[in-house]
Amino acid sequence: MLYDTLIRNALVIDGRDTPGYCADVAIHGGRIERIGELHGALAITEIDAAGRVLAPGFIDVHTHDDTVVIRQPQMLPKLSQGVTTVIVGNCGISASPVSLRGDPPDPMNLLGTAQAFAYPRFADYRRAVETATPAVNVAALVGHTALRSNHMDDLLRTASVGEIAAMRRQLHESLEDGALGLSTGLAYANAFCASTDEVMQLTEELAAFGAVYTTHLRSEFEPVLEAMDEAFQIGRRAQSPVIISHLKCAGAGNWGRSPQVLAALENAAKTHPVGCDCYPYAASSSTLDLKQVTDAHRITITWSTPYPHMGGRDLMDIAAEWHVSLLEAARRLQPAGAVYYGMDESDVRRILAHPLSMVGSDGLPEDPFPHPRLWGAFPRVLGHFSRDIGLFPLHTAVHKMTGLSAARFGLKDRGEIREGHWADLVLFNPQTVRDVADFNEPQRPAEGIDGVWVNGALSYCDGQANGLREGRFLAREGDLRRGFSPTKGV
């Protein structure tokens, strides 16, 4: 057989949390055809990967790329760091199903202006992704806040019986059309007033599909354990796996509590399928929330509608320039976005290293001055945390970004280097791979990423995207509960 691509002499780290091995990998028809010593094999393209690691393409399980995969399908911030699949629709906000009556409510405005929300049904969004053919694969959750905005005239209350019924019908239809599950963002004002019962009634739709429940907790600050209890209660009622989004101990008064938080996660995992994702930074980023304005840590403005020139400046400096309090400055800047330096590094490391945690960037592609995680999250795990800090072996770092993620979200034939699997692959230099994006210059591609294949097509090579876009929409396949084990890794 003449293969399409033959990658020779690679250190294959296959995504299963086991040490790497040296092998050749042959690609044909978009899939991995053979792995081993392929001395006599021939291919249209051959690559000598000596000194390089070949890993499954990274799966970004927590993104807000919902609309950008259609409007900017080259997806350079993700492709350049080795990401081959993005999961959208997180934190209760999704591009579909959405029918706006005005401007998108906060935090749906993180996905763009009203013009970006053109998908009243999940099937419409799926078709739009398939038409756009982005450079990466896309799988999607349905956002709770998106459903609320479709059916409620006032988001600052819990939903009525009729509104819940309407939301359930729309969620059911979306699940039929391939949605992964439901996400919530209960910390945000436009979902905070939703009762636990409202969410429980919606998640009752998940069990029949084996779909997942992901949640930006009602609080990541002092009441974080109570918020986790609520999430697990909802998951048990729904008979649905629970994934806690960007698990953290936010706020200076919460620092050092990661052992408690992780103990709660482990305890829940003994009897129910649960997991979490996290990003490898001690700073978060979202819309500018007046409840989070504090002088206990630094806050940087990333965008502001009334004062766009303030993007990239610290809130404290803006307040001093205006001779007003931090809170008043924040009020004037709204609507706006911010980076909050509100976590402790030891908590970040402890959560990142935990066996139940996956890696997600939580990057915000619409930000004019984004958090550097948009461009650097995955190489930061490989370079800074694995190689430089020694937080975990390289094969564990890869597993957290590939095999574990594919199992959790039921991404069939992805996340591992196996014969027959789709050839989503990344080739990198383990000695030099690193994130270059930082809080001063956040839009810089990583170093050490030599090649990225998406469905067998080399789409990024030697620091450049080549224009090939072979990404696909990945509909939910099978029962996602099968990707969890009650005590896996604990």
pLDDT in tens, 44-78: 999 999 999 999 999 999 999 999 999 999 999 99
Q: Give the range among 103-112, 327-336, 477-486 with minimum mean pLDDT.
A: 477-486
Does residue 118 carry a pLDDT above 70? yes
DSSP string for residues in 90-104: -TT--SSS---SSSP
488 within domain boundaries:
no
pLDDT in tens, 381-424: 999 999 999 999 999 999 999 999 999 999 999 999 999 999 99
**CA separation for the pair 382, 373 (Å, rounded):** 13
Instruction: Clarify whether residues 46 and 64 are in a common domain.
Output: no
Mean pLDDT of the chain: 97
Model pLDDT, residue 486: 59
CA 168 from centre of chain: 25
Specify burial of residue 193 (Cβ count, 10 A radius: 0-12, 13-18, 19+): middle
Instruction: Clarify whether residues 135 and 27 are in a common domain.
Output: no
Domain count, the chain: 3
Instruction: Clarify whether residues 213 and 119 are in a common domain.
Output: yes
Model pLDDT, residue 133: 98
Question: b/e per residue, 289-312, with b = 16+ CB within 10 A?
Answer: beebbbeebebbbbbbeebeebbe
pLDDT in tens, 167-186: 999 999 999 999 999 999 99
Residues 6+ apart with CB under 8 A from 321: none
Instruction: Clarify whether residues 447 and 400 are in a common domain.
Output: no
Confidence of residue 150 (pLDDT cuts 50, 70, 90): very high
3-state secondary structure of 111: helix
Specify burial of residue 210 (Cβ count, 10 A radius: 0-12, 13-18, 19+): buried
Instruction: Clarify whether residues 255 and 158 are in a common domain.
Output: yes
| Domain's final residue, options 294, 316, 338 | 338
Model pLDDT, residue 485: 73
Region of 2 (left: φ > 0; alpha: ψ -120 to 50; beta: rest) is beta
User: What's the average model confidence in pLDDT over 24-40?
Assistant: 97
Quote the tokens at residue 204: 């009752």
Model pLDDT, residue 489: 43
Quote the tokens at residue 10: 């690679």
Instruction: Clarify whether residues 45 and 77 are in a common domain.
Output: no
379, 8, 458, 383 alpha-carbon torsion, rounded to 10°: 0
63 within domain boundaries:
yes
Instruction: Clarify whether residues 433 and 325 are in a common domain.
Output: no
489 within domain boundaries:
no
Question: b/e per residue, 130-161, with b = 16+ CB within 10 A?
Answer: eebebbbbbbbbbbbbbbbbbbbeebeeebee
3-state secondary structure of 52: coil
Model pLDDT, residue 488: 44
Does residue 455 carry a pLDDT above 50? yes
| Domain extent for 9 | 2-55+420-483
Specify burial of residue 3 (Cβ count, 10 A radius: 0-12, 13-18, 19+): buried
Q: Which pTM value belongs to this model? A: 0.97
Instruction: Clarify whether residues 50 and 63 are in a common domain.
Output: no
Distances (CA, A) of 479 to 87, 240, 408: 17, 10, 10
